[in-house]
Amino acid sequence: MPILFGIIAAVFGLALVAIVLTVVLVPIFRGIGWLVSHVFAFVGGEIRDALRLVGAAITAVIFSLLVVANILIFRWSASAHFGRAFSAEIGAGAASVYRILVGHPARLLGLNTLVEGLERRVPDAVAAAPTADRPSRRTGQFENYRIIGSLPGGGSGGKLYIAEPDDLKLASFARNGQRDVEQVVIKSFSLQDGSSLPQIVRESRALDAAKKLGLVLDHELSPERFFYVMRYVPGESLGLVTQHLHAASPDGGLSNANLGRSLGYIEKLLGTLSRYHRGGLWHKDVKPDNIIIHGDDAHLVDFGLITPLRSAMTLTTHGTEYFRDPEMVRMALKGVKVHEVDGAKFDIYAAGAVLYSVVENQFPAHGGLSQISKRCPDAVRWIIRRSMTEYAKRYPNADAMLADLEFVRRAADPFAIKPAELPSVAGGASLGCRGRAGARRGIHVCPAPGRGRPGRPCPGRGRRPRLRVVRGRPRGRAGRRRGSGP
Amino acid sequence: MLSSMTTSFVARLRANDQAAWFELWETFGPVVRAQLTKWGNGRIGAETVRDLSQETMAALSNSIDRYDPSRGARFSTWLLAIAKHVLGDEMDRRMAAKRGSGKKTATLEDAWMAGSREARVDDAYEAAVFRAKVEAAIRKVERECEFTDFEIFRMRVLDGKSGKDVADAVGVSEPTVSRRLAKVREILRARVAETVAIFSFTEEELHEGERNGLVQSPNKADDVLFDEAVAEIFHRQLELRAAEEAGGRR
């Protein structure tokens, strides 16, 4: 009997020891493992960057010698080439110094969020900084305009200047119904300044369309250059504003107030797109860096790619990666004509991608399959999905998407709204995905009576969203405007 | 022996069908970019990696006519060898062949056909290529299914929500959720098999789906395993893209 008790006690004792080992020792060992790997990552990073720094210093010395040597033999172009390479090495060296002194130690101490601004927002702001404030002597001056600044150049290759029109020009604008113009943006293309003929042709093609919407105040086309003039709106791009909003919100995503503001910007964007589409135009390059935020207003800018929806031309793959519908690329590669598709739907895809990037503070790198990991109402997730889904199943027009978004934004608690309650779903537009045949018939979707807001006219008819000023805008961290497919 | 679907896809590539090339780029671009970033070891930036991944596809298009299936290279090896060639070419250009020096850039050899010794295939890369195939299948299903059906699949399988939550969100009953989910699952099974078949050069590659839990025989227990495997593969692929995005920012 005592032996039996002894065995049972031993078994219990062993079990107890096993439990203690599991509960106490395993986490301790895990913690030690994490600490060791963290320290190794730090040491490894420091060594790597120290070696990179030495390598950059050696390479920079070589490049500086090449610069001098080429100056001595009057090879100016080669000298400038090696000068750029020298600058790149200095930049790489400086980045290594930063990582050695600040980046790696901060990560070792778990202060990743502390250096986020330095590593992400500062480079973005520097990359987006304007260029020279005066046009080059070769480009010449712009008659009746006084240049007062510049903006970063976009993917289109044009140069952008901020200018003030003189009294003569202001009177001319007033005669054409354009009042209250204070400052303008001049987008200039000059063959001598490196613009290419295709760029000029493309931009001038967009000109007629833009004039129809009253976006262009003035233009000039001469053998040397082409420029056009738009109103100027000061402000920051939605890309930068999004970063600020996320920095001012908790880690998990936008706060309620910032989410409401962001949705408001997208509402303005959709209102503008609706106006474009009703005017028979398709913007084709909707992205955060082409949306300027000024107060509570969002202004869609850069119409270098604007295309008439009824154009007889073949679709092109122009646009910006992540915000360009892959379906459009497929169609373009098959040689589909613009008038054979509904180009407005490609703008709707881009608007959904912009909404995604605002909520997530990331690009939709996964296209329509991009996951939404940040705090976001289910109904907004649905709106993003519906706008980025396959061409035929997408919102039929910008107004239908706008109606859904307004419904969520004006709800007392957007998080309480279920996708099934959205006007487009309650009205049967979503559940009755009509497929390609429906899309071809141009079915118009209205909120179901009684489920949308009472007394509201059917979206897509009669609403006149405001369209504000436009100015040319640059590429940003979103990547470059792509000229072609793979 | 190549499947008929692979043969027809390769034929489309050989015929310079731009849509086929785009499909290849869209499906495997992220994997190639991740591999180039890994090899670049911090020496090449995100923009360059993007350009290189496109150049990889251009190199593929130049070499497709010389592809000889009888030499037994895996599809993944084929892709990897070309990517390695393109990266080496870029490094040559940067390190030695400065413009005007007269040195030619690397020429593409046919070594990849028999599995290049230089382009070593690691498990992580193989897994990423397989996941890319599954992701391509999910994309096809998204295009093919009704919007609501796919959303039910997305919420239930990819987002891991309960059947009740999904039913509440979409405004249908739970049995309807199950029925629509089953419909999408059936289509996905077919598309996974089809996509794996298109992008496989060897028998071993053809059976990767089953080895990764994507069993084709439909029964209740297999359905759960299938869903879990799909979700796991999808989320791992998301991690790859997130890592690529983070790499681009550094």
- HEC secondary structure over A158-219: CEEEEEEECHHHHHHHHHCCCCCCCCEEEEEEEHHHCCCHHHHHHHHHHHHHHHHCCCEEEE
Domain count, chain A: 3
Mean pLDDT over residues A430-452, rounded?
A: 35
A362 shares its domain with A325: yes
The pair of structure tokens assigned to A114 is: 């502390």
pLDDT of A258 over the 90 cut: yes
Q: What is the pLDDT of residue A92?
A: 83
A285 shares its domain with A157: no
- Per-residue confidence at B8, pLDDT binned at 50, 70, 90? confident
Residue A144: Cβ within 10 Å count: 16
Among A86, A110, A134, the domain boundary falls at: A110
Residue A131 falls inside a structural domain:
no
Distance, CA of A394 to chain centre: 20
> A34 or A346: whose pLDDT is higher?
A346
pLDDT of B152 over the 90 cut: yes
Are A42 and A107 contacting, i.e. CB atoms less than 8 angstroms apart?
A: yes
Partners of B143 on chain A (C-beta within 8 Å) are: 390
Selection from A22-26, A375-379, B243-247 with the highest mean pLDDT? A375-379
A282 shares its domain with A402: yes
- Per-residue confidence at A389, pLDDT binned at 50, 70, 90? very high
Residue A139 falls inside a structural domain:
no
A380 to chain B: closest CA residue: B169
A52–B contact, CB cutoff 8 A: yes
**Pairwise CA distance, residues A453 & A154, whole Å:** 41
Look at residue A264 and give its three-state secondary structure: helix
Residues 6+ apart with CB under 8 A from A309: A277, A280, A281, A282, A338, A339, A342, A343, A344
Partners of A485 on chain B (C-beta within 8 Å) are: 18, 21-22, 25
> A376 or B78: whose pLDDT is higher?
A376
Q: What is the pLDDT of residue A220?
A: 84
A59 to chain B: closest CA residue: B95
**Least confident window among A169-178, A184-193, A352-361, B39-48:** B39-48
Question: Best of B23, B52, B60, B147 to disrupt the A interface by mutation (most A CBs within 10 Å)?
Answer: B147
> B77 or A124: whose pLDDT is higher?
B77
Q: For residue A181, give the CATH number of its domain.
A: 3.30.200.20
How far apart are the CA of B113 and the nearest CA of chain A, in angstroms?
A: 23
Partners of B25 on chain A (C-beta within 8 Å) are: 485-486
From the list A385, A418, A433, the residue facing B146 with the nearest CB is A433
The pair of structure tokens assigned to B241 is: 């893209």
Distance, CA of A297 to chain centre: 17
> B99 or A176: whose pLDDT is higher?
A176
DSSP string, A324-358: S-HHHHHHHHTT-BGGGS-THHHHHHHHHHHHHHH
A102 shares its domain with A176: no
Name residue A482's beta-bridge partners: A319
Among A110, A127, A161, the domain boundary falls at: A110
From the list B25, B42, B47, the residue facing A486 with the nearest CB is B25
Residues 6+ apart with CB under 8 A from B180: B148, B149, B152, B153, B172
Residue A298 falls inside a structural domain:
yes
A386–B contact, CB cutoff 8 A: yes
> A229 or B115: whose pLDDT is higher?
A229
**Pairwise CA distance, residues A138 & A181, whole Å:** 28
A404 shares its domain with A373: yes
Per the structure, the complete domain to which residue A465 belongs is given by 236-482
Look at residue B196 and give its three-state secondary structure: helix
- Arithmetic mean of pLDDT over chain A: 79
A370 shares its domain with A253: yes
Whole-number Cα distances in Å, A74 to A83, A85, A113, B101: 14, 18, 49, 18
Residue A127 falls inside a structural domain:
no
**Pairwise CA distance, residues B75 & B52, whole Å:** 19
A78 shares its domain with A177: no
A272 shares its domain with A341: yes
Of A325, A328, A329, A275, the closest CA to residue A300 belongs to A275
A89 shares its domain with A157: no
Residues A307, A308, A312, A314, Cα dihedral to 10°: 20
Ramachandran sector of residue A153 (left: φ over 0; alpha: ψ -120 to 50; beta: rest): beta
**Pairwise CA distance, residues B111 & B73, whole Å:** 10
- Per-residue confidence at A438, pLDDT binned at 50, 70, 90? very low
Residue A457 falls inside a structural domain:
yes
A392 shares its domain with A468: yes
CB contact under 8 A, A367 and B151: no
A260 shares its domain with A388: yes
A395 to chain B: closest CA residue: B147
Among A182, A210, A231, the domain boundary falls at: A231
B172 to chain A: closest CA residue: A420
Mean pLDDT over residues B1-7, rounded?
A: 69
Complete domains list, chain B, with CATH: 4-121 (1.10.1740.10), 131-239 (no CATH)
Q: For residue A443, give the CATH number of its domain.
A: 1.10.510.10
Partners of A89 on chain B (C-beta within 8 Å) are: none
Partners of A69 on chain B (C-beta within 8 Å) are: none
Mean pLDDT over residues A399-417, rounded?
A: 95
Residue A194 falls inside a structural domain:
yes
- Percentage of chain A beyond pLDDT 70 is 79
pLDDT of A435 over the 70 cut: no
Report the Cα–Cα distance between both ends of chain A, in Å, rounded.
Answer: 81
Whole-number Cα distances in Å, A421 to A262, A431, B170: 21, 12, 9
How far apart are the CA of A365 and the nearest CA of chain B, in angstroms?
A: 7
From the list B19, B241, B244, the residue facing A330 with the nearest CB is B19
Q: What is the pLDDT of residue B110?
A: 40
Residue A132 falls inside a structural domain:
no
Selection from A94-98, B138-142, B202-206 with the highest mean pLDDT? B138-142
Residue A28 falls inside a structural domain:
yes
pLDDT of B156 over the 90 cut: yes
A399 shares its domain with A291: yes
Listed by number, the residues of chain B in 14-53 with a beta carbon closer than 8 Å to a beta carbon of chain A are 18-19, 21-22, 25-26, 29-30, 42, 47, 50
**Pairwise CA distance, residues A214 & A211, whole Å:** 5
CB contact under 8 A, A430 and B241: no
> A243 or A158: whose pLDDT is higher?
A243
